[in-house]
A and B are shown apart, each in its own frame.
Chain A
Amino acid sequence: MNPKIILQVEKVSKAFGGVQALANVSFEVFEGEIFGIIGPNGSGKTTLINCVTGFIKMDSGKVFYRDKDISGRAPHKIADLGITRTFQVMRPYYTLPAYKNLIVPLFSPRARRTGGWRGGGRLGDRDTVGIDILEEIGFERDSFVPYKLASTLPTGYLKRLELARCLALRPEVIICDEVFSGLSMSEIASMVPLIERLQMDGITLVMIEHRLRELFRVANRVMVLNFGEKLTEGTPEEVMEDERVREAYIGSAEI
């Protein structure tokens, strides 16, 4: 059985002034898999997902979502289709309590159509749905944590809040921009099962990551970017064996 392609990116290019941030990057993501994108600093990972999700206009290239051309659409329209993203620099609404942060996505047209995550049908009281989602994602319901101001939450919770914001839309695809970075080992240890659970729920995940070990534990396939170009793509084992990947990360063997 051939898995269905859910997201297809074709020859995306983007230049900032004279710097070619992305050069003809193509890849496809299959439904239900975890697709990793790795690469050294400045290799264009974040630019790539900014282009895919419409936050940056790409110079050339096409993005297809379920065979529908979505290139160049406005970010909120792409999110409305079910492709959501987290931000590398976390962007909660700092002045609001954690659960109120989910009111905004739950108020969106898509959440009203779909009823929010696992809501199924009509959306109930948004506060309650928000706390339900937070509980699923690892906020202890009976503690103060969901009611704390977002500005007082530690990084681990903020990363989860970012994921919760995506989940509130009942997404088909979540593009995670470095969810593991800045977390302690124990926080990562609790994040990995969460990612796996999302996959079990049928959500396709695209993960941009610096932490290769954790990514290789969860990812089905990995793509490597270097200086805006695609180096290689394959299973984590294949990628780890690749000479060019080692070169890009560690530097060339010969001097």
Chain B
Amino acid sequence: MGYLLVPRLALIMGLLLLPFIIPSLYWQRVIFIVFIYALLSLGFDFLAHFVGLVSLGGGFFIGVGAYLAAILNTSLGLPPAVTIPIATIIGGAICTLLLLPCLPLRGIYFAIVTLMYPLVLMRIIEALNILGGTDGIVGVASFQSRWIEQYFIIAMVLISLFGLRRLVNEDMGLVFRGVKDNDQAVKASGISITFYKSVAVFITSALGCLGGAYLAHFYMWAGISQFALDFSIIPIAATVIGGGGTLVGPLLGTFILVPISELLRAVGTLRIVFYALILTAFIVFRSEGIMVYGQRKYHQFERWVKV
């Protein structure tokens, strides 16, 4: 029992204790950005390794979620406890509807199209000067207390992680994996692959919108920088580092990548150089990802002890 329980408990306790372990306010804020990236990476890993759609729409999801929450909050005066769930569900639905025409695309083509969406929306807002234009929407309400702010996102990341892990091993998850491995056979089984792909895209975009809505309340602002490319790219890097197809891996990947990127601010302009070096080192020496490597070693260790 303990064999399986220990790693899970370590992860849960580690995340729950994070606000206590980290002393400075600056690093605490960094960590909550990490959690938002973690939500995106989870969604990315789910979509890429279990449904076969490589999505670069991270920025798109975050942006839609952030703007929705900001509009709901500033013009209707709804509190964060209401705006975040609404932005998650409605935002997920909006993203899924917009991505619906692209669902027949596969692999790199789907990636390119999803990358286009945040850029297009960003330029539309800028050009038409709607939704606050380049200034964004200011005056979004913040959370009531720091504790709610912190534990809300921690709980959300944990729930999504374990929820997704369960989902992919359920019967429905096998259908998702079937869509990835062999969509012809799924069609021949009388199952609409477009429906299941859109369900999967909805799950992923809802996770992204949740992160975006949280971000809007966290910064008390929603603007076009929330369509930033970072939100699309870092989840991929995190999945590569953490190990794709494990769901936990991308989470750990973000916890390594984003703080490293912050730490490297100390070296000034050379930051990108070191960042690239670290990424390359990971890809060359541990291309399978930390989690895949770690899981294998962990299982080997157990066998080794018995002998």
Q: Which residues of A contact B (CB under 8 A)?
A: 53, 55, 74-77, 79-80, 84-85, 87, 91-96, 100, 103-111, 126, 165-166, 168-169
The answer to whether A91 and B189 have CB atoms under 8 Å apart is no
In the complex, which residues of chain B have a beta carbon less than 8 angstroms from the beta carbon of A109? 190-191
A-B contact count (CB 8 A): 80
The answer to whether A76 and B174 have CB atoms under 8 Å apart is no
Q: Name the contact of B184 in the complex, choosing from A80, A87, A105, A166 (C-beta under 8 A).
A: A87
Q: Name the contact of A80 in the complex, choosing from B172, B190, B193 (C-beta under 8 A).
A: B190
Known: A106-B171, A107-B174. 18 other contacts (CB 8 A): A53-B188, A55-B184, A55-B188, A75-B188, A76-B189, A76-B190, A84-B190, A91-B184, A91-B185, A93-B177, A95-B177, A100-B174, A103-B171, A104-B186, A104-B189, A107-B175, A109-B190, A126-B171
In the complex, what distance in Å separates the CA atom of A245 from the CA atom of B221? 77
In the complex, what distance in Å separates the CA atom of A252 from the CA atom of B284? 62
The answer to whether A104 and B174 have CB atoms under 8 Å apart is yes
Interface size on B, residues (CB 8 A): 18
Convert B174-187 into 0s and 1s, putting 1 for each residue whose CB lies closer than 8 angstroms to a CB of A.
11011001101111
The answer to whether A93 and B178 have CB atoms under 8 Å apart is yes
Q: Which chain B residue has the least Cβ–Cβ distance from A127?
A: B171
The answer to whether B190 and A103 have CB atoms under 8 Å apart is no
B129 CB within 8 Å of chain A: no
B192 CB within 8 Å of chain A: yes
The answer to whether B174 and A74 have CB atoms under 8 Å apart is no
In the complex, which residues of chain B have a beta carbon less than 8 angstroms from the beta carbon of A166? 188
Nearest 9 pairs between A and B by C-beta? A79-B190, A105-B189, A108-B190, A80-B190, A75-B187, A104-B178, A91-B185, A110-B190, A103-B174
In the complex, what distance in Å separates the CA atom of A55 from the CA atom of B187? 9
7 contacts between A and B (CB under 8 A): A55-B188, A75-B188, A79-B187, A84-B188, A91-B184, A92-B185, A104-B185
The answer to whether A96 and B187 have CB atoms under 8 Å apart is no
In the complex, what distance in Å separates the CA atom of A197 from the CA atom of B164? 42
The answer to whether B181 and A79 have CB atoms under 8 Å apart is no
Convert B149-189 into 0s and 1s, putting 1 for each residue whose CB lies closer than 8 angstroms to a CB of A.
00000000000000000000001101101100110111111
In the complex, what distance in Å separates the CA atom of A108 from the CA atom of B185? 12
The answer to whether A96 and B192 have CB atoms under 8 Å apart is no
The answer to whether A96 and B188 have CB atoms under 8 Å apart is no
In the complex, which residues of chain A have a beta carbon less than 8 angstroms from the beta carbon of B184? 55, 87, 91
In the complex, which residues of chain A have a beta carbon less than 8 angstroms from the beta carbon of B178? 93, 104
In the complex, what distance in Å separates the CA atom of A84 from the CA atom of B191? 12
* A158 CB to nearest chain B CB (Å): 12
In the complex, what distance in Å separates the CA atom of A168 from the CA atom of B191? 13
Question: Given A104-B191, A105-B190, is A93 in contact with B185 using a C-beta cutoff of 8 Å?
Answer: yes
Q: Name the contact of B191 in the complex, choosing from A87, A95, A107 (C-beta under 8 A).
A: A107
In the complex, what distance in Å separates the CA atom of A75 from the CA atom of B192? 9
Q: Name the contact of B188 in the complex, choosing from A94, A95, A106, A165 (C-beta under 8 A).
A: A165
In the complex, which residues of chain B have a beta carbon less than 8 angstroms from the beta carbon of A111? 190
Q: Name the contact of A87 in the complex, choosing from B172, B185, B186, B190 (C-beta under 8 A).
A: B185
In the complex, what distance in Å separates the CA atom of A74 from the CA atom of B175? 18
In the complex, what distance in Å separates the CA atom of A84 from the CA atom of B187? 10
Q: Which chain B residue has the least Cβ–Cβ distance from A54?
A: B187
* B117 CB to nearest chain A CB (Å): 26
The answer to whether B177 and A85 have CB atoms under 8 Å apart is no
In the complex, what distance in Å separates the CA atom of A126 from the CA atom of B172? 11
In the complex, what distance in Å separates the CA atom of A41 from the CA atom of B178? 31
The answer to whether B188 and A85 have CB atoms under 8 Å apart is yes
In the complex, which residues of chain B have a beta carbon less than 8 angstroms from the beta carbon of A108? 189-191
In the complex, what distance in Å separates the CA atom of A100 from the CA atom of B173? 11
The answer to whether B177 and A96 have CB atoms under 8 Å apart is yes
The answer to whether B189 and A169 have CB atoms under 8 Å apart is yes
* A165 CB to nearest chain B CB (Å): 6
In the complex, which residues of chain B have a beta carbon less than 8 angstroms from the beta carbon of A85? 188
The answer to whether B182 and A91 have CB atoms under 8 Å apart is yes
The answer to whether B181 and A107 have CB atoms under 8 Å apart is no
Question: Given A76-B191, A79-B187, is A93 in contact with B175 using a C-beta cutoff of 8 Å?
Answer: no
In the complex, which residues of chain A have a beta carbon less than 8 angstroms from the beta carbon of B191? 76, 104-105, 107-109
